[in-house]
């Protein structure tokens, strides 16, 4: 029987949750009622904080909908707050008089968090391809679709080497407005035909909301690029469709921000989100970006969503791509996104980081050796 979900305040009132005191069972009840862990927070008061300051913090927490457990030490008081609320600003508490530090114990995302689906998410794609299962899936191809003949050649190369998906940009987010901007719909048509001919999953980037209806008719996975990771309007629209989304980490985004962006898509009902580490900006200038390999095991722990490594944008140099691809698989990546070009020296974008066909073939052979060592197949 469907029961109307109670609001937070109704819940607290009807369950007679005492505002202050021991609430051992509250945690479980919040979980039952709201289908997630709610929010668990610790507020550490300053050494020697005054009692009225402590009382004020308790009142604020209660007003925000939390039940509070107070532990009074000889010098320091600790407040543990449990509640169903996700949408609040921790700084509102941090600035209260007498507060030393506020720690959020539970994550601010719920659908993207591991506990939502402890067994992990498998994203099902055409041709029986599954991302997030035992098999490591490789999606490869040029940075941009440059023409029919060259893209078909690229698709043939990646297919023969054992990749399951072909990538290519039809709409390109270029740092300079004078650089090649992509072939648009013509590029999408070419990708679809090549994908059908070689039995490959087609992956391409969507840059704005108006492109979504067009793109879903041609591609199997919509990529959201690093520059759009926090384009929340775009993410919200992608939550309304029923096509997998490959969400790339922004160049200065924390992993929590990446998961909150995934949450935007999932909140709309589209749970087929694949995450991607593609390098972040650090003080190092030798490589284009710094490939954060540790993001892979961290995401696999925090989230049930499949995780991809993109060593091409991660390093920006083709000689560094194979080692970082090997490292990604060893670190537990579910998929790889790699730039390959039949003639990288004449590529219209990202030639320097695109592998030569032979390099890609050699890399695939190495990856097939590494995968079983970490319990995966390829
Ligand atoms: C790409 O995949 O070609 C691309 C532009 O990626 P990113 O958004 O990671 O720069
Ligand atoms: Mn590129």
- The number of distinct structural domains making up the chain is 2
For ligand 1, is residue 180 a contact (CB within 6 Å)? no
Encode 63-80: b = buried (16+ Cβ within 10 Å), e = exposed. Answer: ebbbbbbbeeeeeebebb
The whole domain housing 238 covers 114-373
In a domain, 109, yes or no: no
* Tens of pLDDT, residues 274-297: 999 999 999 999 999 999 999 999
- pLDDT tens figures, 299-334: 999 999 999 999 999 999 999 999 999 999 999 999
Q: Is the CB of 323 under 6 A from ligand 1?
A: no
Please tell me the number of the ligand nearest to residue 229's CA: 1
Give the distance (Å) from ligand 2 centre to CA of residue 144.
Answer: 7
Residue 337 CA, closest ligand 1 atom number:
2
Q: How far is the CA of 350 from the centre of ligand 2 (A)?
A: 5
Residues 132 and 73 in one domain: no
Q: Is residue 269 part of a domain?
A: yes
Q: Are 268 and 240 in contact (CB under 8 A)?
A: yes
Residue with CA at minimum distance from ligand 1 atom 3: 143
Q: Which ligand 1 atom is nearest residue 173's CA? A: 5
Picking from 70, 104, 138, the residue at the C-terminal end of a domain is: 104
Calpha distance 222→198 (Å, rounded)? 19
Q: Decide if pLDDT at 38 tops 80.
A: no
Q: How far apart are CA 189 and CA 233, in angstroms?
A: 26
Same domain, 97 and 174: no
Q: Are residues 128 and 178 in the same domain?
A: yes
**Higher local confidence (pLDDT), 280 or 105:** 280
> Same domain for 242 and 335?
yes
| Ligand 1 site, residue 288, Cβ cutoff 6 A | no
Q: Are residues 91 and 207 in the same domain?
A: no
Of the listed ligands, the closest to the CA of 223 is 1
Mean pLDDT of 356-367: 98
- Return the residue matching tokens 């690029």: 225
What angle do helix axes 185-198 and 148-161 make, rounded to 10 degrees? 40
């Amino acid at each position: 029987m469907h029961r109307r979900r109670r609001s937070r305040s109704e819940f607290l009132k009807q369950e007679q949750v005492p505002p202050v005191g021991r609430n051992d069972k509250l945690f479980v009840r919040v979980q039952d009622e709201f289908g997630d862990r709610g929010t668990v927070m610790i507020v550490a008061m300053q050494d020697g904080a005054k009692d009225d300051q402590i009382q004020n913090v308790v009142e604020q927490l209660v007003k925000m909908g939390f039940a509070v457990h107070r532990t009074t030490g000889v010098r320091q008081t600790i407040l543990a707050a449990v509640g169903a609320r996700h949408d609040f600003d921790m700084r509102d508490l941090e600035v209260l008089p007498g507060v030393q530090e506020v720690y959020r114990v539970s994550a601010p995302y719920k659908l993207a968090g591991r506990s939502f689906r402890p067994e992990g998410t498998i994203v099902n794609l055409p041709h029986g391809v599954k991302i997030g299962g035992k098999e490591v899936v490789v999606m490869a191809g040029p940075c941009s679709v440059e023409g029919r003949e060259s893209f078909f050649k690229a698709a043939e190369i990646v297919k023969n080497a054992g990749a399951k998906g072909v990538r290519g940009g039809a709409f390109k987010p270029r740092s300079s407005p004078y650089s090649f901007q992509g072939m648009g719909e013509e590029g999408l048509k070419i990708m679809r035909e090549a994908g059908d001919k070689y039995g490959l999953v087609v992956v391409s980037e969507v840059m704005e909301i108006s492109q979504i209806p067009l793109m879903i008719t041609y591609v199997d996975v919509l990529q959201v690029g690093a520059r759009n990771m926090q384009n929340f309007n775009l993410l919200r629209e992608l939550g309304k469709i029923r096509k997998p989304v490959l969400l790339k980490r922004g160049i200065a985004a924390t992993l929590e921000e990446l998961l909150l962006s995934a949450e935007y898509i999932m909140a709309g009902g589209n749970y087929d989100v694949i995450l991607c580490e593609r390098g972040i900006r650090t003080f190092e200038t030798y490589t284009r970006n710094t490939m954060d390999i540790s993001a892979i095991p961290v995401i696999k722990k925090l989230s049930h969503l499949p995780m991809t490594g993109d060593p091409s944008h991660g390093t920006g140099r083709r000689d560094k791509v194979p080692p970082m691809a090997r490292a990604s698989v060893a670190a537990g990546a579910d998929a790889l996104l790699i730039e390959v070009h039949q003639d990288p020296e004449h590529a219209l974008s990202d030639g320097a980081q695109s592998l030569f066909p032979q390099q890609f073939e050699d890399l695939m052979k190495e990856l097939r050796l590494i995968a079983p060592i970490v319990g995966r197949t390829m």
